[in-house]
Amino acid sequence: MKVNARLATLFISALSQSMPVDLMGKVARMVIPDYDVYDRSGFPANIPMPRADAARQILGDFTRERYFLKLVEALIDVHFHGDMGRDVKISLLPRIIAEIEDQGYRYSPEKGVFVESAGRERTMGWGTLHEGRTYEFALLRTDIAGNSDLVRRYPRGLIRSTYGNVRDMITRLVEKRDGRMWSWEGDGGLAAFYFIDKTIQATLCGIEILHELFLYNLLASGLPEAVSVRLAVHAGPCRFHRSARESAGDAIRRVEILESSYTVPGSLTVSPGVYTDLGGKLSRFFTPFAGPEGGSLYRYLLEWEPR
């Protein structure tokens, strides 16, 4: 995000009025672990640095390296939780937050981060992830089952509109749970969830897709037969790129394998790591089945009593 002159002035004033230089350095290291304001500025380490100069240096460094929002998130954390039991109040903090929110972000207290506000275009990295860095994600892979058969049997226009409806529905359900569609190619796609409870949100999203698709088939689909999807959720580290094709990691390969090789149409498969995160209630809805290398995978299937 862009740090304009008003925001820069507010930030420098807030930092220099609220904490000594050593605490500024400590807060900065919450974001960049090896950050040293003396080293960066060339100021002699044996002479006390004026607070305003230190604040200005930190602002310049963090803006240049695109970590400004992370730094403000760290300041908010210190403001509300203190430093090692010491109360630290950051003056002008509400005005800094308001200024950032004017630029299309909103602070989420539950997540402790700034995210894109509702009216703003949603980006793949929620406006907070850094290109090329590795993060922990929960990944939801979706695929329309029997695509080739459907394409062969029905008119192209009908298939296009049906797939468009399914894609819109999946995107809506993913974004409702603060996930992002990273890619969609023809009959399936990949969604990512990043914030707190990401595995639970990805799993619930998968279940909700199955339920909504059931209702879509029942009430709205123009196809004479039901559209069915295969879904899989896996969590793990992944290098983030704004181009989904470049995003890489074992987690992406694994979720693709779970979906294509271990998932029956109309069901959701979750990996053992995801299953253990689900908690007592949600895990009760899953049944184990044999996975790769003698291990177990877990399945949710929307099933009705025989009529």
Nearer to other proteins, 16 or 221 (CB): 221
Render the burial of 219-250: b for 16+ CB within 10 Å, e for the rest: eebeeeeebbbbbbbbbbebebbeebeebebe
Question: Least distance in Å: CB of 62 to other proteins?
Answer: 37
Nearer to other proteins, 189 or 266 (CB): 266
Nearer to other proteins, 33 or 306 (CB): 306
* Spatial CB neighbours of 90, under 8 Å, sequence gap ≥ 6: 14, 15, 18, 19, 75, 76, 78, 79
* Contact set with other proteins (CB under 8 A): 204, 207-208, 211, 214-215, 218-219, 280-282, 284-285, 300-307
301 bridge partner residues? 267
End-to-end, the C-alpha distance of the chain in Å comes to: 57
Nearer to other proteins, 103 or 283 (CB): 283
Nearer to other proteins, 127 or 206 (CB): 206
* Spatial CB neighbours of 35, under 8 Å, sequence gap ≥ 6: 25, 28, 29, 61
Tokens of 274: 């995801």
Question: Least distance in Å: CB of 82 to other proteins?
Answer: 31
Among 110, 49, 123, 119, which residue's Cα sits nearest to residue 76?
110
